[in-house]
Amino acid sequence: MPQGTSVVHPDAVIIPMNAFDEQGYRLGYGGGYFDRTLAALQPKPIAIGIGYEMFRVGTIHPCEHDIPMDFIVTEKGIHAMEEGRLRHIDAAACTERVTRLSAARRLPRAQPVGSAP
């Protein structure tokens, strides 16, 4: 981290995907950086995967350390988990889910990390 900067703990993250599956897991660039970051952040930020519909696969065969996305956005719209599968949702349903997730995770954070109360 550069000297003189504050640590940032985001309330939401946008994560690139090479592929994604029907359970909301993503295939990234092979380093596991996003999964480790999401696992370390508390409370967990809202995870939004961004990719193309043509890269949807049946399964990426997730490992124990893989973390599913809360939402996946493609050129065909917004997708979220529903009854164990990824389903297309509209903007109103997305707003409701973000509101519910934010309340459950106590987001947004009241104060930025490192700031004075």
CA distance 110 to 20: 32
Q: Of 26-30, 86-90, 92-96, which gets the smallest average pLDDT? A: 26-30
Distances 14 to 10, 53, 86, 114 between C-alpha atoms, Å: 10, 16, 18, 23
Catalytic residue among 11, 21, 36, 66: 66
Domains detected in the chain: 9-74 (3.40.50.10420)
The fraction of the chain above a pLDDT of 90, given in percent, is 63
Integer angstrom CA distances of residue 71 from 1, 7, 50, 100, 111: 29, 25, 9, 13, 25
Which is catalytic among the residues 26, 85, 90, 105? Answer: 26
Q: What is the CA radius of gyration of the chain?
A: 15
Judge contact between 97 and 90, C-beta under 8 A.
no
Tokens 């696969």, residue?
57
Annotated catalytic residue 35: yes
pLDDT per residue as tens digits for the range 9-52 = 899 999 999 999 999 999 988 788 888 888 888 999 999 999 99
- Active site (annotated) includes residue 21: no
Of 11, 21, 35, 85, the catalytic one is 35
Evaluate if residue 2 carries a pLDDT over 90. no
pLDDT of res. 114? 54
Residue 26 known to be catalytic: yes
